[in-house]
Chain A
């Protein structure tokens, strides 16, 4: 679990522990490169999150993992950070693991908060976001919004599996079994 000061580390860890995983929360790049599954959680703003990833060398560690084909999961802001760019905070360069950009949501009430159905699958997951990915790597949508994107061994999701009850638990179990 990449620790760079993001808020939701504890709830993600708790979900994985409930599934029987052995977890460690770390800002050490080598540990991140070597783990069976690395998770980039995230809530907060893109600019400060990117700065903190770079300070700790976690940006390079994540890119290296994906180059080696090792399973990596980005959650919420973790998906947006993996893109080439975010329009948040006047424009922030991302990790470039996924093609595309994070754009501010323009429809409905923003932030988009609550449970919404995800296709394919038709299950409800929990969301709390003001930006969303616009990417050719999209693999799932919810109400027209890109909510999952994949490139190589990286999977980013806009919803919070750690907060999505039984459906979220099943999703994380699949991530663990693939890692």
Chain B
């Protein structure tokens, strides 16, 4: 297996990195290209950019942002938000993204996963799943569905997904640790890699989830201070997590 990965996640809206509580009171925290470069320099293995507004007229802003990041940053990055067709996904890859992530659009129309996989290749297709108590939610966690998270992950794999980005809504933002049970259940059910998301507070939390998942998404733990990523990597290596030497 490849080495475990640490993946900072940046929420973007209108071409800027923003931060907010449940998408309200969004605060501008910086330029995506500068922040992406800072995380890359601090040792990120990969980056995720999520366009949390993803309105139709914002597509060109997003594409410009993606090409700016691709020119500046020499690590892989995934872009999500507003991908509704294979053409949307292709445009992001042509702009310089390595992979695209789909969530609500795939829940509404699961055939989208297969269309993306056949045009972009499975390795470029990430299916993001937001779950609470084992059930999937759509629309950034606001809309309950009847889908079971494990069953949906399996279906996504069968349809051609190359990776699952699994967020526990229950753990998200708590800094009390990842939802290990949910992550293990999904990782055991599929044979594609799984990125765990939600709940990172300490190096131990990250180490624990990397026992069951192939990558850990980092949000609030590094947002106040990208330099925290460097110390987190050092702590993790010290407790035996085989992260790459990012020098």
Residue numbers of A with Cβ under 8 A of B are: 7-11, 14-15, 17-18, 43-45, 77, 108-117, 124, 126-130, 143, 160, 162-166, 168-169
Is B2 among interface residues, defined by CB-CB distance under 8 A? yes
Besides A109-B193, A124-B244, A164-B74, 16 new A-B residue pairs in contact (Cβ under 8 A), listed by A number: A7-B94, A8-B96, A10-B70, A10-B96, A17-B71, A43-B120, A44-B119, A45-B118, A110-B191, A111-B162, A113-B123, A114-B1, A115-B45, A124-B3, A129-B123, A130-B123
Complex formed: what's the CA distance from A144 to B62 in Å? 39
Residues of the A chain whose Cβ atoms lie less than 8 Å from the Cβ of B4: 114
CB of B163 within 8 A of CB of A111, answer yes
Residues of the A chain whose Cβ atoms lie less than 8 Å from the Cβ of B118: 45
CB of A124 within 8 A of CB of B1, answer no
CB of B93 within 8 A of CB of A43, answer yes
Complex formed: what's the CA distance from A17 to B46 in Å? 21
Main secondary structure of the interface of A (DSSP, over half): mixed
Residues of the B chain whose Cβ atoms lie less than 8 Å from the Cβ of A7: 90, 93-94, 120, 124
Q: Which of A45, A115, A163, A169 has the most CB of B within 10 A?
A: A115
Residues of the B chain whose Cβ atoms lie less than 8 Å from the Cβ of A116: 2-3
Is B241 among interface residues, defined by CB-CB distance under 8 A? no
CB of B95 within 8 A of CB of A165, answer no
Known: A43-B124, A115-B45. A14 touches B71 (CB 8 A): yes
CB of B70 within 8 A of CB of A11, answer yes
Residues of the B chain whose Cβ atoms lie less than 8 Å from the Cβ of A126: 75-76
Residues of the B chain whose Cβ atoms lie less than 8 Å from the Cβ of A169: 74
Would you give the shortest CB distance from A109 to chain B, in whole angstroms? 5
Cβ contacts B68-80/A at 8 Å (1 or 0 each): 0011101110000
Complex formed: what's the CA distance from A117 to B2 in Å? 8
Complex formed: what's the CA distance from A90 to B237 in Å? 43
List the 3 shortest-distance A-B pairs measured between CB atoms, nearest first: A114-B2, A7-B93, A124-B244
Closest to B4 in A: A114
